[in-house]
């Protein structure tokens, strides 16, 4: 029996291996696996392989969802075996497939009707099926591979059933319930990415009768679980909080403000473990080489103790040279994807690019810069600057889809903005990378208090973009004077602050001294935070302390 660090996640963003995620949660999971590999850590990620994926295409200024089938055979997975779970009165056969990478493995659960990521509404039967399949199926997969979790990290509450299966298995094989609970609690870590417990979907006891209880071998565990329902309903966070002895939020601010209570009414304390990124995946190779040569990063991707000294070598000419390489990459990405007007963009070294790239959801405020089109034009036009907007609208989110169409309609009515504001559909890893390495300034303006961490801005900082941001999520791990901070006590004031910062950013890129100063300050503050190695070390410290 081997005992790796085991990480369950319903979302995994790893297109190279055929798995497309929905956003930051999946990117984090895939980065965590890669960082564990670089550190030589025995690590197993367990996640579904979705046989169908959704893409977004733009036609006549409107977004359309498309589905594509994906076959795991095309991505080098090995079929391990099949496992069965019971759902809705039937036996469901799940395939267990795996791929090994150094000290780590990716184990996936799949079957032809598994559906796609986030199919159906949260709280629906299909979601419960997917969650149960991952938890119980994934746990059985570990057993047939002779693996037992030394650490069981639950990436959000939808992976609760993995811990439940672990508990059930211990009790069914003869361990006393309380002894088993102590063991599971000690090894289980619940990673929360959500701020408000009330927003979470609930399941009914009737749904549990059909999908969950039939998979339990132990009557005691079943009784324990059935007692957690209130008025016939349960939130997975309440049961996750009972089974996971360790809990963390994903930035300092998020851990402090996440408002969760146990079933007993006690306020939950979350440890802060700020997310990090896999620098090897997300940073332009030329920039990584520079970090390495100047003694900023060791070759395996962690920072050196004296990395701040190394940053003195980051002169304006160097920044511009590295950005030229990045821009070539961006141009390659953009050669394959047109903007809303069907134009394929190609930028010269001298073009100036602002970008806003993240899921198109309300709290991230993709529309904020467009509240005053003349104001925006007055910033862009003198420099001939472009503004690239990228981010998927959540399938079925008609409010945000409407907002996007309105923005694009309005932009297209303005002669300058029409050719300088570009929406690129189907935001994914490739576009995220292209924009991080190839643009000049990244804009991140979530409503303060609502972003759990965010990792796109980490890619931007590491790739030498100036960051304009509200003080939220992981950005707020450092003081606001380390980046171009947007602040104000009303949305109008924030908009004014954003425009002022955009003007400063344009000016800074044309002034060597300012550019070096701002970039070095930004990196000195953020490099220790954005390193995925730092994140992994924080998790290990947290888990290894009794
Ligand atoms: C990095 C990345 C994210 C993370 O987004 P945040 O809004 O910063 O959390 C989401 N989607 C893709 C495709 C990414 O590459």
Q: Which atom of ligand 1 is nearest to the CA of 459?
A: 1
Cβ 160 vs Cβ 135: under 8 Å? yes
- Using 70 as the pLDDT threshold, list the residues of the chain that sit under it: 546
Q: Does residue 521 share a domain with residue 541?
A: no
| Residue 284 covered by a domain | no
Closest approach atom of ligand 1 to CA 358: 7
In this prediction, residue 307 carries a pLDDT of 95
Which atom of ligand 1 lies nearest, measured to the CA of 433? 15
d(CA 428, CA 405): 20
pTM beyond 0.85: the answer is yes
User: Ligand 1 mean position to 457 CA, how many Å?
Assistant: 9
267 with 365, same domain?
no
Q: In this predicted structure, what is the pLDDT of residue 482?
A: 98
Smallest Cα–Cα separation from 434: which of 345, 511, 495, 372?
345
Residue environment code for 331-343, b if the CB has 16+ CB neighbours within 10 A, otherwise e? bebbeebbbbeee
Atom of ligand 1 nearest to the CA of 364: 7
Residue ID of nearest Cα to ligand 1 atom 5: 24
Nearest ligand 1 atom to the CA of 457 is: 8
Q: DSSP letters of 49-89?
A: --SEEEEEEEETTEEEEEEEE--GGGGT-EEEEEEEEEETT
Element at 170 (helix H, strand E): helix 160-172
Torsion on CA atoms 7, 280, 325, 293, rounded to nearest 10: 160
Interval between CA 220 and ligand 1 midpoint (Å): 41
The domain in which residue 445 lies consists of 326-530
254 located within any domain: yes
The SS3 assignment for 358 reads: coil
Distances (CA, A) of 258 to 27, 198, 250, 272, 369: 21, 11, 10, 11, 28
Give me ligand 1 centre to Cα 90, in Å: 37
Strand partners, 86: 91
Contact 47, 10 (CB under 8 A): yes
- The span from the CA of 55 to the CA of 75, in Å, is 19
Give me the sign of the Cα torsion angle 505, 509, 513, 515: positive
- Do 236 and 356 have their domain in common? no
Q: Which CATH number fits the domain that encloses residue 484?
A: 3.40.50.2000
**Number of domains, the chain:** 2
Ligand 1 mutation target, pool 27, 31, 467, most atoms within 8 A of CB: 27
DSSP code, position 92: E
The token duo for 463 is: 């790739």
Q: Which residues line ligand 1 (CB under 6 A)?
A: 23-24, 27, 358-359, 427-429, 432, 454-456, 459
Atom 11, ligand 1: residue with shortest CA distance: 23
Residues 523, 540: one domain?
no
Estimate to the nearest angstrom the gap between the alpha carbon of 465 and the chain centroid: 20
| 270 shares a domain with 368 | no
Characterize the bridge pairing of strands 271-272 and 484-486: unpaired
Ligand 1 pocket mutation, candidates 275, 400, 455, 462, criterion most atoms within 8 A of CB: 455
In a domain, 285, yes or no: no
List of residues 6+ apart from 222 with CB closer than 8 A: 213, 216
Rg (CA), the chain: 24
- Determine, yes or no, domain membership for 318: no
For residue 64, what are the β-bridge partners?
A: 57
In this prediction, residue 58 carries a pLDDT of 83
Ligand 1 centroid vs 282 CA: distance in angstroms? Answer: 11
- Check whether residue 408 and residue 459 sit in a common domain: yes
Nearest to 433 by CA among 456, 453, 451: 456
Same domain, 506 and 541: no
Upper half-sphere CA count for residue 47 (Cβ side, 13 Å)? 31
CA angle 428/432/437 to nearest 5° reads: 155
Q: What is the DSSP string of 390-451?
A: E-PPPTT-HHHHHHHHHHHHHHHTSHHHHHHEEEESS--HHHHHHHHHH-SEEEE-PPTT--
Residue of 12, 13, 452 with the most ligand 1 atoms within 8 Å of its CB, for mutation: 13
- Same structural domain, 261 and 358: no
Is residue 156 located within the same domain as residue 59? yes
pLDDT computed for residue 69 by the predictor: 95
Closest residue to atom 9 of ligand 1, CA basis: 454
Q: 244 with 332, same domain?
A: no
- Which ligand 1 atom lies nearest to the CA of residue 452? 9
Summary count for the chain: helices (H), strands (E) = 21, 19
How many Å apart are CA 316 and CA 321, to the nearest integer?
A: 9
| 316 located within any domain | no
Say which DSSP state 356 is in: E
Instruction: Report pLDDT for 546.
Output: 56
Nearest-CA residue for atom 13 of ligand 1? 428
Let me know if residue 136 belongs to a domain: yes
User: Is residue 298 in some structural domain?
Assistant: no
Residue 428 Cα: closest atom of ligand 1: 13
How many Å lie between the centroid of ligand 1 and the Cα of residue 404?
18
Tell me: do 119 and 204 sit in the same domain: yes
Which contiguous run of DSSP H or E holds residue 496?
Answer: helix 491-509
In what order do the strands lie in the sheet containing 5-8? 78-87, 90-101, 104-110, 43-48, 5-8, 151-155, 188-191, 246-249, 271-272
Query: Is residue 142 in a domain?
Result: yes
Atom of ligand 1 nearest to the CA of 359: 7
Q: Encoding tokens for residue 137?
A: 């199926």
Task: Quote the ligand 1 centre to 353 CA distance (angstroms).
Answer: 19
Q: Mutation test of ligand 1: which of 11, 24, 389 has the most ligand atoms closer than 8 Å to its C-beta?
A: 24
Same domain, 50 and 164: yes
Write down the pLDDT at residue 267.
Answer: 96
DSSP letters spanning 144-169: HTTB--SEEEEESGGGHHHHHHHHHH
* 171, 218 Cβ separation under 8 angstroms: yes
- Give the Å distance between the CA of 54 and the centre of ligand 1: 16
Q: Which long-range contacts (CB under 8 A, 24 or more apart) does 334-339 make?
A: 334/424, 334/434, 337/424, 337/425, 337/426, 337/431, 338/58, 338/424, 339/422, 339/423, 339/424
């Amino acid at each position: 029996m081997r005992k790796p660090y085991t990480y369950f996640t319903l979302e995994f963003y790893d297109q190279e291996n055929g798995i497309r995620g929905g956003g930051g949660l999946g990117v984090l999971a895939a980065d965590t696996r890669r960082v564990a590999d670089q550190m030589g850590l025995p690590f197993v990620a367990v996640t579904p392989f979705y046989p169908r994926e959704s893409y977004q295409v733009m036609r006549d200024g409107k977004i359309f969802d498309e589905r594509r089938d994906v076959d795991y055979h095309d991505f080098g997975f090995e079929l391990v075996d099949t496992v069965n779970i019971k759902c809705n009165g039937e036996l469901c056969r799940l395939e267990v497939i795996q791929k090994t990478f150094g000290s780590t493995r990716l184990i996936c659960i799949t079957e032809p009707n598994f559906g796609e990521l986030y199919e159906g509404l949260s709280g629906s039967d299909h979601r419960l099926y997917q969650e149960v399949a991952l938890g119980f199926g994934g746990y059985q997969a570990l057993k047939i591979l002779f693996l037992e979790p030394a650490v069981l990290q639950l990436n959000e509450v939808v992976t609760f059933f993995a811990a439940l299966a672990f508990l059930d298995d211990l009790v069914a094989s003869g361990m006393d319930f309380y002894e088993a609970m102590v063991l599971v609690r000690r090894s289980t870590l619940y990673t929360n990415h959500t701020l408000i417990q009330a927003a979470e979907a609930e399941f009914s006891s009737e749904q549990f009768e059909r999908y969950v209880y039939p998979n339990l071998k132990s009557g005691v565990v079943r009784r324990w679980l059935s007692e957690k329902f209130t008025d016939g309903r349960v939130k997975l966070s309440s049961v996750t909080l009972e089974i996971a002895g360790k809990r963390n939020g994903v930035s300092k601010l998020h851990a402090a403000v996440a408002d969760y209570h146990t079933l007993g009414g006690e306020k939950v304390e979350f440890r802060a473990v700020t997310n990090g990124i896999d620098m090897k995946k997300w940073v332009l190779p030329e920039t990584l080489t520079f970090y390495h040569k100047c003694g900023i990063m060791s070759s395996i991707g962690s920072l050196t103790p004296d990395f701040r000294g190394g940053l003195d070598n980051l002169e304006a000419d160097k920044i511009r040279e590295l950005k030229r390489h990045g821009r070539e990459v961006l141009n390659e990405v953009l050669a394959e994807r047109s903007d809303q007007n069907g134009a394929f963009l190609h930028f010269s070294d001298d073009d100036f690019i602002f970008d806003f790239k993240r899921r198109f959801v309300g709290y991230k405020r993709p529309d904020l810069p467009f509240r005053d089109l003349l104001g925006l034009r007055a910033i862009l036009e003198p420099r001939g600057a472009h503004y690239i907007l990228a981010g998927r609208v959540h399938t079925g989110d008609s409010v945000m889809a409407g907002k996007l169409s309105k923005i694009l309609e309005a932009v297209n009515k303005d002669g300058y903005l029409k050719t300088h504001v570009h929406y690129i559909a189907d935001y994914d890893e490739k576009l995220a990378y292209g924009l991080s390495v190839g643009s000049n300034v990244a804009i991140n303006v979530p409503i303060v208090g609502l972003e759990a961490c965010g990792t796109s801005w980490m890619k931007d900082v590491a790739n030498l973009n100036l960051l304009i941001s509200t003080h939220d999520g992981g950005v707020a791990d450092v003081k606001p004077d380390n980046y171009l901070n947007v602040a104000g006590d009303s949305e109008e004031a924030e908009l004014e602050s954003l425009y002022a910062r955009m003007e400063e950013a344009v000016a800074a890129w044309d002034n060597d001294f300012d550019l070096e100063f701002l970039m070095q300050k930004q990196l000195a503050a953020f490099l220790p935070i954005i390193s995925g190695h730092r994140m992994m070390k924080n998790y290990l410290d947290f888990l290894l302390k009794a």
